[in-house]
């Protein structure tokens, strides 16, 4: 029988494991990078050591982090966000980069079909897969089979509706279609016209406490933390 101290040490080891959050969608422009950088900033502001792994050859997240590092030279009060450019070809090496962190946010390119074995390996390693989807028929056509495939393999996933407008009938229709296919995150991201503005300085809405549209990102962070046990 392990004594109390041994149990506590074991719990610490379990707790110290890096939680892996895979942000993946076969549809381009659905909000993967926007969501990834807001989650990284949330983690940093909470004092959780997090790393972003940028699997996209476009390096959207990497470039954003480089701009953030430059902004922090003048304004060091903005929380630091670490991002590493990695490749899907060498996903094993990429996963080794998570060592020493408590959270890794994996931003991926949209071309899921071209990299299926690598994406599936990342899905296997992930504690949670977030699938952003804009509330349009085109997005749902592309995302629904992906969610079905992930859920069918027993992976823990959640659709995050993006650019959502609750007043439209298309929102209700698209949400209804997705709910039938797999888990849908209880918080959605509304259309936020100025979301790209802070990104030009490597920042996010969360870096300005009075930003319009900050709440859904805070709530998604709370949801993610609970889901992955952070
Ligand atoms: N909620 C939103 N409101 C308004 N604009 C948004 C919202 N979410 C994302 N965008 C904008 O949509 C564009 C695509 O977003 P993003 O780059 O995050 O998508 P992505 O899924 O990473 O794209 P890709 O598949 O090309 O990597 C960006 O210009 C971003 O600013
Ligand atoms: Mg992207």
- Residues 6 or more apart whose CB falls under 8 angstroms from that of 220 comprise 35, 38, 39, 160, 185, 187, 189
In a mutational test of the pocket of ligand 1, which residue from 29, 38, 187, 214 has the highest number of ligand atoms less than 8 Å from its CB?
A: 29
Residue 41's pLDDT is what? 98
pLDDT at 8 over 70: no
Q: How many CA atoms lie within 13 A of 151 on its CB side?
A: 18
- State in words which class domain 17-225 has: alpha beta
Q: What is the mean pLDDT of residues 140-167?
A: 94
Residue 92 clears pLDDT 70, i.e. is over it:
yes
**Verdict on whether the full-model pTM lies above 0.75:** yes
pLDDT of residue 202: 97
Listed by start position, the domains of the chain span 17-225
User: Is any ligand 1 atom within 6 A of the Cβ of residue 147?
Assistant: no
The region, left, alpha or beta by phi > 0 then psi within -120 to 50, assigned to residue 126 is: beta
- Give the pLDDT band of residue 189 (cuts 50, 70, 90): very high
Whether residue 91 contacts residue 116, with contact meaning beta carbons closer than 8 Å, is answered with no
Residue 97: CB atoms within 10 A of its CB come to 15
Mean pLDDT computed over 16-31: 95
Q: What is the mean pLDDT of residues 39-49?
A: 97
Whether 38 is in the pocket of ligand 1, judged by its Cβ within 6 Å, is no
Q: Which pLDDT band, with edges at 50, 70 and 90, does 15 fall under? A: low
Examine the pLDDT at 199 and tell me if it is beyond 80.
yes
Mean confidence (pLDDT) of the chain: 93
Which residue, 173, 143, 164, is CA-closest to 220?
A: 164
Q: Is the CB of 200 under 6 A from ligand 1?
A: no
Residues, beta carbon < 5 Å, ion ligand 2 = 32-33, 60
pLDDT, average across residues 46-70: 98
Mean pLDDT over 199-205 rounds to 96
pLDDT of residue 25: 96
88 ligand 1 Cβ < 6 A: no
Q: For residue 11, what pLDDT is reported? A: 58
- Percent pLDDT > 70 in the chain is 94
């Amino acid at each position: 029988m392990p004594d109390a101290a041994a149990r506590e040490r074991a719990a610490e080891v379990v707790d110290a494991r890096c939680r892996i959050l895979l942000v993946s969608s076969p549809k381009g422009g659905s909000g993967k990078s926007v969501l990834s950088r807001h989650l990284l900033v949330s983690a940093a502001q909470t004092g959780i050591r997090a790393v972003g792994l940028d699997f996209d050859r476009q390096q959207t997240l990497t470039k954003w982090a480089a701009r953030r590092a430059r902004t922090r030279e003048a304004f060091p009060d903005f929380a630091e966000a670490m991002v590493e450019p990695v490749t899907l070809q060498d996903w094993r090496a990429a996963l080794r980069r998570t060592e020493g962190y408590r959270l890794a946010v994996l931003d991926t390119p949209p071309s899921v079909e071209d990299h299926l074995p690598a994406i599936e390996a990342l899905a296997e390693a992930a504690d949670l897969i977030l699938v952003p989807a804009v509330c349009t028929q085109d997005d749902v056509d592309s995302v629904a089979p992906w969610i079905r495939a992930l859920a069918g393999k027993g992976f823990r996933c959640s659709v995050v509706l993006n650019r959502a407008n609750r007043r439209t009938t298309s929102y209700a229709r698209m949400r209804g279609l997705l709910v039938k296919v797999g888990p849908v995150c209880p918080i959605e991201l509304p259309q936020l016209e100025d979301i790209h503005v802070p990104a030009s300085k490597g920042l996010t809405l969360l870096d300005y406490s009075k930003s319009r549209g900050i709440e859904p990102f805070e709530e998604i962070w709370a949801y993610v933390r609970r889901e992955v046990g952070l």
